[in-house]
Amino acid sequence: MYNLDNNTILEIKNLCMSFGGLKAVNDLSFDIRKNEIVGLIGPNGAGKTTVFNCITQFYQDKEGTILFRNKEDEIVNLNEVHVSHVINEGLVRTFQNVELVSDLPIIDNLLIGAHSLYKTGIVSHVLHTKKSKQEEIFFREKADEILEFMGIKAIKEQLAGGQPYGILKKIGIARTLMSNPRLIILDEPAAGLNEQETNELSDLIISIKDNYKCSILLVEHDMGFVMQVCDRICAISFGKFLAMDTPEKIKSNPIVQEAYLGKDDD
């Protein structure tokens, strides 16, 4: 079977992904530890989104292994897991466009995040059984707690449509917490936020790590934000691994600097 170091929850080994003739991800390997915030950075076109979609199984036809320590503390190879079952293992992601259901209240959007945890089925719902009513109450209370934690409980009955972008992103993150995740992958969480919102976001992400005892992988462009929030940063370029280290070391890493700024023509 599969084996992982006790402290590791995600290990990507030799990941390769091509589109037609173009190698988007080229033999990439890195790991994420328990209770850690990791940032994935790279210049535009580096392949961050592709890595992301590979981990979450939205892309097939990839090579390599993606080992994950799931909710039951078993080691699974995510490549063997169907995209709609990834959340069952304890890995959940956000979307840049957030993609909530606009016609539903915010709290109902959160309940969608708990979809994988519900035990009642279609028939129970149609018959409005006691069990389904109880489950509904249980998850609504859980949603209340999370909304409180995120500071948006007051507007929970408002429709998700029409909310400002900052709130939408918060709802997106709140939704991931509903499924008791071990690892949350955030897709450019700071995109479109101003400086104040970005600082709030850093605090929020760190407090999520502390309160919900999970790890977080974020894919991001905003360097300042990434340096602030991450325990370790993995830098890639043209689909290839450059370096993985603490923010300070990455900042001063010459290979990383070159990839971002180009070689000095001295």
> Is residue 87 involved in binding other proteins (CB under 8 A)?
yes
**Residues 170-209 as x/- pattern, contact with other proteins by CB under 8 A:** -----x---x------------------------------
> Is residue 111 involved in binding other proteins (CB under 8 A)?
yes
> Is residue 158 involved in binding other proteins (CB under 8 A)?
no
> Is residue 93 involved in binding other proteins (CB under 8 A)?
yes
3-state secondary structure of 42: coil
**Residues 18-57 as x/- pattern, contact with other proteins by CB under 8 A:** -x-----------------------------x---x--x-
User: Is residue 9 within 8 Å of 183, Cβ to Cβ?
Assistant: yes
Task: Specify the amino acid at residue 121.
Answer: G
Q: In what order do the strands lie in the sheet with 232-237?
A: 91-93, 183-187, 215-219, 37-41, 232-237, 240-245
Rank residues 87 and 242 by Cβ distance to other proteins and give the closer one. 87
Q: Which of 17, 19, 15, 10 is nearest to 64 (CA)?
A: 15
Rank residues 33 and 140 by Cβ distance to other proteins and give the closer one. 140
Cα angle 90-96-102, degrees, rounded to a multiple of 5: 90
User: Is residue 67 within 8 Å of 77, Cβ to Cβ?
Assistant: yes
> Is residue 70 involved in binding other proteins (CB under 8 A)?
no
- What length does the chain have? 266
> Is residue 134 involved in binding other proteins (CB under 8 A)?
no
> Is residue 116 involved in binding other proteins (CB under 8 A)?
yes
Cα angle 234-237-238, degrees, rounded to a multiple of 5: 140
Number of chain residues interacting with other proteins (CB under 8 A): 39
User: Is residue 192 within 8 Å of 2, Cβ to Cβ?
Assistant: no
Give Cα separations from 250 to 135, 229, 234, 247 (angstroms).
46, 14, 8, 5
Give the binding range for other proteins (CB under 8 A) out of 101-109, 204-212, 219-227, 237-245: 101-109
> Is residue 115 involved in binding other proteins (CB under 8 A)?
yes
**Using CB under 8 A, which of 18, 33, 108, 231 touches other proteins?**
108
Give the binding range for other proteins (CB under 8 A) out of 85-93, 210-218, 227-235, 247-255: 85-93
Rank residues 54 and 259 by Cβ distance to other proteins and give the closer one. 54
> Is residue 84 involved in binding other proteins (CB under 8 A)?
yes
Joined tokens for residue 147: 């909304």
> Is residue 137 involved in binding other proteins (CB under 8 A)?
no
Joined tokens for residue 194: 């101003």
Rank residues 102 and 207 by Cβ distance to other proteins and give the closer one. 102
List the alpha helices (DSSP H) in 105-191: 106-113, 122-127, 130-150, 165-177
Query: Residues in the site for other proteins, rule: CB under 8 A?
Result: 19, 49, 53, 56, 58, 83-88, 92-93, 95, 99-104, 108, 111-116, 118, 120, 122, 125-128, 132, 135-136, 175, 179
